[in-house]
Chains A and B, each alone.
Chain A
Amino acid sequence: MSGERPGAGAGAGADGGAAPVVSAGAGADRGADAATGAGVVPYRSNFADGTPGFGGLLRAEWTKFRSVPRWVLTLLAAVVLTVLIALITANGSERAVAGGGEDPADSGASADFRIRDGGHFLYQPLPGDGELVARVTELTGTQDWAKAGLMIRAGDEAGGTYAALVATPGHGVRLQTGFTQVAGERAEAAVPRWLRLTREGRTVTGYESADGENWSRVGSVDLTGLPATAQAGLFVASPDEVHVDRQFGGESISQEPTEAEATFDGVTLRPESGAAAGEWQDRARSLAAGGSATRLGPDAFTLRGAGDIGLDPGFADDSARNLLEGALAGLVAVVALAVLFLGSEYRRGMIRLTFAATPGRGRVLAAKATVLGAVAGAAGAVAAAAAVLLAGPMLDGAGRVSLTEGPVLRAVLGTGLLLGLVAVLALGVTALVRHSAAAIALVLLPLLVPRLLAGGLPLNAAEWLQRLTPAAGFAIQQTVRRYDTAIGPWAGLAVLAGYTAVVLAAAYARMRRRDA
């Protein structure tokens, strides 16, 4: 190597020194042309076509990114910080759950916020298969979603497996199970109404009828984990009433328990085995919350119950989302990185070299966006997954989150998408304004400020703020639909993607027209 270079240099020098890296042969040609002035032979480089393929471009941008130790460290620090905040959050929320459990208003619910297992249940054991029939003659409650009907469940404890066939004042007859599913509904049916619930093995099927003779099927559910002897009986529930008031410059939300009262007659429990009927008993945990049952006759009862069964949609604590909020710290770091990734090239003049190597502005921008989006997205997904894996088990009961749940997985991968999109957005803004301070302020403020202002604004205005600004992208982290949910997860991410696409297109147009 050291032997070749002086030779090449000497050759170029002898030909006039115009092009130091030209081979001796080409230099000689040019010298001859200049001397004779005859037909000009255009210069052709001996190197292969200088424009690298898109793959080579990606590799160049990746090298630029990874070879700055400060940037790589910042990215790692962002991941660590995200996980750390998740751990702190998980620690804090544990205490809050423990405190909430002592609240008497919550005694109808399980110890966590996500599910409600209230209402009153009057039951007796159902050995093996069988059917339960009753007529709801009257249902009084202030809520549309008050429920009166039949239930088969594994046992008395909170959060157990169940299937309930219920009539409601406003939403017909429905068969519901678990804490998230509705197995079937017949919206037109109204009280008084005959209801029939049958068990065959693991399958529980619900029927309803106006006269007790012509039955129509509502739906059926497959209950795994239902013991051989299940508990079957009558059930009344009434969801809490929610008030949203504006006070002290913020929203105050209060929940008041409501009661429903229902009268049943024609109550018959027919085990297939023909076993004798047992004693009716009240569910102990709902007696404490004000539930009661009165026997009116041999097969007629009146039940009063408070609290609801099912997922608590309004106030469910979105514990997965809380764990992932630490990604905000990662987001800030990613914005700074994205701005520096392009901004420092402009400041140091490196961009001219980049454009000299690849004159296509669009290709450079696309390569930068791809590398940056992929790096930020990977960091975001890794940080989110680590946060859920490490901090998830620290949460209590059903608030515990695991990666195998669909919505949680969506939130974790979505956090990666969110960070990737924000990085590309920041890149586009930097290409537009070419000023790092302006770019950082223009990207960070629309992401952070809506969340701050939202606290002091009425729900309605706050929701619009979270729908229209790029901050809508944070919706991808939600796993539970709450009373204050402004926009669906994918729709929210689409809003952010829209902003990113518009900014990137404008950046491309600007880059093409403007001198570097």
Chain B
Amino acid sequence: MRRALRAEWTKLWTVPSTGWLLPAVVLLTVGAGAAAMAAVDVSQCPSPAECFEDTTRLSLDGVRLGQAAVAVLAVLVITGEYGTGLMGLTLAAFPRRVPVLLAKAGVLAAAVAVAGTVAVLGSLAAGRGILPAGGFTAANGYPGLSLADGPTLRAAVGTVLYLVLVALLALGVGAVVRDTAAALTLVLSLLYLAPVLASLMGDQRWRERIEEFSPMPAGLAIQSTRGLDRLPIAPWPGLGVLLAYSAAALLLGTLLLARRDA
């Protein structure tokens, strides 16, 4: 297993796309979050206190964009090997197939966790700088973002976990589909199409049902720090929904990898 991990580690770091994609996770997350925060200020609300803005969630909003880079990275980890035929060599070196996928999952999770932590800390730091300028100050009822605050810590840790789970979901889909274009299209549709379709539902119950059971809206519930009773699904169960998707995709991918001809 250690050799498998080492081999996957080498493969991940020597592919040029990784050098692009991990910084892209950080830049997209922090950049989109900063843009979202800069677009909002208390003057748009009836009164500053009545914005009820979830400043933690707002500062971490960029993850919606950053996760795309994570999905690309994770899909490429496996479909890239199939595309170039490297997979045959990998399996010749490690004939036991399950550890190969586990090693890929482990290395990928570690890399995404590091990039995700940097992205989250960067977003929170940007929030501390940008939000007070928009009137979200302690005096108006929006205390500064701080990891010492329980819900904010949960949101920060949860967002990193969210990115890791998205990576595992994409890895699983990649192992099932084996084609870069098809796998990435599937993952991005699963993430981005569900919330858009939910907004089309005229019926409130159906809208909430979709948000409860689709990976992105449910998983991002972990970012909420206020108005928790208004959420379709609570923070940790929401992340659990995403975990179920990731586990199912990885399980199916492992089964197919073990039984199918490479």
Q: Give A residues with C-beta under 8 Å from B.
A: 85, 88-89, 92-97, 245-249, 322, 325, 328-329, 332-333, 335-336, 339-340, 343, 347, 435-438, 440-441, 444-445, 448-449, 451-453, 455-458, 460-461
Contacts and interface: CB of A to CB of B under 8 A. Distances in A.
Query: A-B pairs with the 10 shortest C-beta distances?
Result: A96-B202, A93-B202, A461-B39, A336-B185, A246-B44, A436-B181, A448-B192, A92-B202, A92-B203, A92-B201
Contacts of B180: 436-437
Contacts of B201: 88-89, 92
Interface stretch (B47-55, B99-107, B120-128, B151-159): B47-55
Contact of B188 (A245, A435, A441): A441
B203 A452 contact: no
B182 to A, nearest CB: 7
A304 to B, nearest CB: 29
Contacts of B72: 437-438, 441
B61 interface: yes
Interface in B184-216: 184-185, 188-189, 192-193, 195-197, 199-204, 206
B199 to A, nearest CB: 7
Contacts of A448: 188, 192-193, 196
A452 B195 contact: yes
A440 B39 contact: no
12 contacts: A92-B200, A93-B202, A94-B202, A246-B40, A246-B53, A322-B202, A336-B182, A437-B180, A440-B181, A444-B192, A448-B188, A453-B64
A78 B199 CA distance: 20
Nearest to B32: A453
A426 to B, nearest CB: 10
Contacts, number: 128
A247 B52 contact: yes
Most chain B CB within 10 A, of A94, A97, A436, A455, is at A436
Nearest to B79: A437
Contacts of A93: 202-203
A322 B200 contact: yes
A9 B69 CA distance: 55
Contacts of B44: 245-246, 458
A434 to B, nearest CB: 12
B230 interface: yes
Nearest to B206: A92
Contacts of B185: 332-333, 335-336, 440, 444
Most chain B CB within 10 A, of A325, A329, A335, A437, is at A437
Interface in B53-100: 53-54, 57-58, 61, 64-65, 68-69, 71-72, 75-76, 79, 83
B230 A248 contact: yes
Given A89-B202, A336-B182, A437-B76, A328 B51 contact: no
Nearest to B191: A448
A246 B65 contact: no
A85 B83 contact: no
A455 B64 CA distance: 12
B223 to A, nearest CB: 11
Nearest to A86: B200
B184 A249 contact: no
B199 A458 contact: no
B197 A85 contact: yes
Contacts of A95: 202-203
A452 B46 contact: no
Contacts of B248: none
Nearest to A93: B202
B188 A458 contact: no
B196 A328 contact: yes
Contacts of A85: 197, 200
Contacts of A96: 202-204
Nearest to A90: B202
Nearest to B181: A436
Contacts of A336: 181-182, 185
Nearest to A333: B185
B46 to A, nearest CB: 5
Contacts of B150: none
Contacts of A435: 17
B181 A332 contact: no
A404 B216 CA distance: 39
A347 B203 contact: no
B76 A453 contact: no
A339 B181 contact: yes
B45 A247 contact: yes
Contacts of B65: 445, 449, 453
B61 A325 contact: no
Given A435-B17, A449-B64, 7 more contacts: A92-B206, A94-B202, A246-B45, A325-B196, A329-B193, A336-B185, A437-B75
A444 B192 CA distance: 9
Nearest to A251: B44
Contacts of B76: 437
Nearest to B28: A445
A455 B199 contact: yes
Most chain B CB within 10 A, of A332, A441, A457, is at A441
A352 B134 CA distance: 56
A328 B45 contact: no
A411 B193 CA distance: 21
A347 B64 CA distance: 31
B196 A451 contact: yes
B181 A343 contact: yes
B51 A246 contact: yes
Contacts of A458: 39-40, 44
Most chain B CB within 10 A, of A332, A335, A343, is at A332
Nearest to B62: A453
Contacts of B51: 246-247
A207 B124 CA distance: 65
Contacts of A461: 39-40
A307 to B, nearest CB: 23
Nearest to A448: B192
A77 to B, nearest CB: 12
A380 to B, nearest CB: 16
Contacts of B199: 455
Nearest to A95: B203
A369 B75 CA distance: 27
Contact of A457 (B17, B39, B184): B39
B110 interface: no
B133 interface: no
A288 B98 CA distance: 71
B20 to A, nearest CB: 9
B196 A452 contact: yes
Nearest to B230: A248
Contact of A445 (B58, B68, B197, B230): B68
A97 B58 contact: no
B186 to A, nearest CB: 9
Contacts of B45: 245-247
Contacts of B68: 441, 445, 449
B181 A328 contact: no
Contacts of A444: 185, 188, 192
